[in-house]
Amino acid sequence: MEQDDDVFDGGFGGPGPEDFANGAAALAAGLIREGQNLAAAAAALRATATPNPPGVPGGEALSDIRRQRMVLHTAGEAALRAALVLDAAALLAESRAPADHALRIAEAARKVGLPPATLSPFLRAAALDFRTDDAAARIAASTLATDLCALLAQGQG
């Protein structure tokens, strides 16, 4: 029996355009979850440093101003990263090439005073937190995250 060499043509060799669109959507959803976690951490830190009004039961606020300052700074940084991650998720919703995504994500990072590679751990985490059994979309999301991280690390973003 003669083997047909064209069997793997037409997108059967890897993820196709629809898979990359699904992968980008899954990455965006993962980034939203990461943003929610950062926002929750920022809110919890801010609550820790905020004194309770008189007569309201609860733990005492941090008494040492240096610790309170550190906690508020950390809360602010977490909130800033949450906003940046959510902005990146919104940018991924647009159909663009990875280089275009990286440029726009890097621009958003620079606007808030952070290096573009700040988003790399969040992109990798979003690719790992894939909530579907669509293998082609999973591969596409991982490929997209890897490409974006490389571009952001090179400063091409």
115-143 residue pLDDT tens? 999 999 999 999 998 887 888 889 999 99
The band of 8, judged by pLDDT with boundaries at 50, 70 and 90, is: very low
H-state helical runs in 1-156: 17-49, 65-92, 98-111, 120-128, 135-154
Tokens 């995250």: give the residue: 145
CA separation for the pair 15, 149 (Å, rounded)? 19
Distance CA 90, CA 6 (A): 38
The string of pLDDT tens digits covering residues 53-105 is: 555 555 555 567 788 888 899 999 999 999 999 999 998 888 778 888 899 98
The two structure tokens encoding residue 61: 């606020």
pTM: 0.78
pLDDT above 80: residue 11: no
Domain-wise residue ranges, the chain: 17-52+60-154
Taking the C-alpha atoms of residue 113 and residue 65, their distance in angstroms, rounded to an integer, is: 26
